[in-house]
Structure 1
Amino acid sequence: MAANKLGRFLVHSVELESQAQERYLELAEIMAGHGNQPVADFFRRMAGEASLHLLEVTRIAVGVQLPQLKAWEFEWPEVEGPETTSYDAVYHQMSLRQAMLLALDNERAAEQYYRYVAHSTDDPETARIANDFADEELSHAASLQRLLDNLPPDENRQPDDKGPQHRRRSPWKLAWPPPLPLFLAPECG
C-alpha cells in the first residue's frame, strides 16, 4: 500500500505543476494581450519554472504506478492546486511587483502543501520526497523574495475601474490544517 500512497502523491505533484504551468502561460498571454509585457515575461518565466518542476517530478515517478485520477478526485486544500494563481487575483494593469507577490504566495502555498504531506503520511518514501519538494519550493520563495527586495516599490498603483480588484490569496488561511487527503490516511487493518 506504500507504493499506492507514493503513486497518489506523485500524481498530485504532477497535476500541481501542470496546473501551475498552464495557468502561468494563460496569464502571460492575457498580459501580453493587454500590453503589459514585463508581467507577461515574468509569468512566462514562472511557467518555465513549473515546467522544470514537472520534468523533475516525472523523472522521480519513473517506475512508480501512477493512478489515473479524474479532475474531481484530486484532493487539494482549495479548489485548485496550491501553486495555481486564481484568476481573481490578476488584473491587466498589475505591476511586476504585484505579479511577483502572487508567485511568492504560490511558492509558499506549494511549500506548505508538500510539508503537510511530509508530516502527515506514514510512508517514509512519500515523506522524504515531499520534504525534498517542500525544501525546493522554500528555496524558490526565498529567491523570489530576494528579487522583490531589489525591486523599486510601486507608486500609488491601483487597479482601474475596468478590471477586478487585485486580491492576493491567503493559502489555507481559513482551514489550516486542511482535511487529511485520503491517500495519506493510515491504512485500516
Structure 2
Amino acid sequence: MTTEVATFLAHALAMENEAADRYDELADTMEIHNNPAVAELFRQMAAFSRRHAESVAERAARHDLPVLKSWQYRWNTFEPPEVGAIEGTHYRMTPHHALSFALDNERRGRDFYAARAKDGANGELRRLAAEMAEEEAAHVAELERWLERVPPPDGDWDQDDDEAIVAD
C-alpha cells in the first residue's frame, strides 16, 4: 500500500469519527436546552457517522495508517468536511434545520472524497475515494428525501419569550 492511500484512509477515519463526536456534542446541547426532537436527530446522525467510520476502519484494517497530528491533516475546509460548525446551530433549531445541517455536512464529505477520486496520486487511492464519494452521495440523497418530509420552520422559530436569567 502506498503512503498516499494510508494517509487518505487516516483522513477518512478521522473525519467520520470527528463528525460523530460533533453530533454527540450537539445532541447533548439540544438535550440541555430541552429540544428533544433535534437531540434525537443528532444522535441518529452520530450513529450514522459511526457506522461509516466502521466501514472506513474495515477498509483500513489491512493497512498501517499514520498517526497524524492535528496540523498534519489536509482538509478542504477549516475542520474536517463532515464536521459542521457549531455556529451553524441554534438551541431552538428545528428538525428541518438539523437535517439541513447534516445535509450540508454530507455534501462537503462527498465533495472531499470526489476531489480525492479525481486528483488522487494512484489508482488505488482514486478507486477508494470514488467508492466513498458514492457512499456519501447516497447519504446526501437519503437526507434530501428525509428533508422533503419535514416541514420548514415558522418565520419566528428562534424567538424565545422566556428570557434567560443569569444568577450571580
Tell me the TM-score normalised to structure 2 length: 0.92
Residues 1:77 and 2:90 aligned together: no
1:58 corresponds to 2:44 = no
User: 8 Å contact 1:4–1:65 — kept in the other structure?
Assistant: no
Q: Which runs of 5+ in 2 are unaligned?
A: none
Alpha carbon RMSD of aligned pairs, Å?
A: 1.5
Identity of aligned residues (%): 34
- In 2, Cα distance between equivalents of 1:124 and 1:146: 33
Query: Which whole-Å CA distance do the structure 2 matches of 1:26 and 1:120 have between them?
Result: 33
What secondary structure, in the 3-state scheme, does the structure 2 residue paired with 1:69 have?
Answer: coil
> Which shifted more, 5-14 or 70-79?
70-79
Corresponding position of 2:41? 42
Distance 2:46 2:102 in 1: 11
Contact 2:4 2:121 in 1 (8 A): no
SS in 2 for 1:38: helix
Report the Cα offset of residue 22 of structure 1: 0.3
State the match for 1:145 in structure 2: 144
Partner of 1:13: 12
Give the partner amino acid of 1:87. Answer: I
3-state DSSP of counterpart to 2:66:
coil
Query: Which letter maps to 1:120?
Result: D
Partner of 1:104: 103
Match of residue 129 from structure 1:
128
TM-aligned CA deviation for residue 159 of structure 1: 2.6
Counterpart in the other structure of 1:114: 113
Alpha-carbon shift at residue 153 of structure 1 (Å): 2.4
**d(CA) in 2 for partners of 1:155 and 1:47?**
27
Query: Could you say which residue in structure 1 is the equivalent of 2:3?
Result: 4
Q: Contact between 1:10 and 1:61, CA under 8 Å: does it hold in 2? A: yes
Residue pair 2:94, 2:153 contacting (<8 A) in 1 also: yes
C-alpha displacement of 1:158: 4.0
Q: Deviations over 1:101-158 (max 9, x none)?
A: 0100000000000000010013111111101110011101101111111112222144
Instruction: List gaps (5 residues or longer) in structure 1.
Output: 164-189
- Give the aligned residue type for 1:13: A
Larger % of helix: which?
2
Q: Do 1:17 and 1:53's aligned partners in 2 also have CA atoms closer than 8 Å?
A: yes
CA-CA distance at 1:160 after TM superposition: 3.9
Q: Distance in 1 between matches of 2:156 and 2:140?
A: 24
Structure 1 runs of 4+ with >2 Å offset: 157-163
SS in 2 for 1:52: helix
Give CA deviations for 1:58-102 in whole Å, capped at 9, x if unaligned.
Answer: 110012121111011100112210000101111100010011001
* TM-score in terms of structure 1 length: 0.82
Q: Deviations over 1:16-61 (max 9, x none)?
A: 0011000000000000110000100000000000000110011100
Tell me if structure 2 keeps the 8 A contact 1:104–1:145: yes
CA drift at 1:5: 0.5
Contact 1:24 1:46 survives alignment (8 Å): yes
Distance 1:158 1:45 in 2: 23
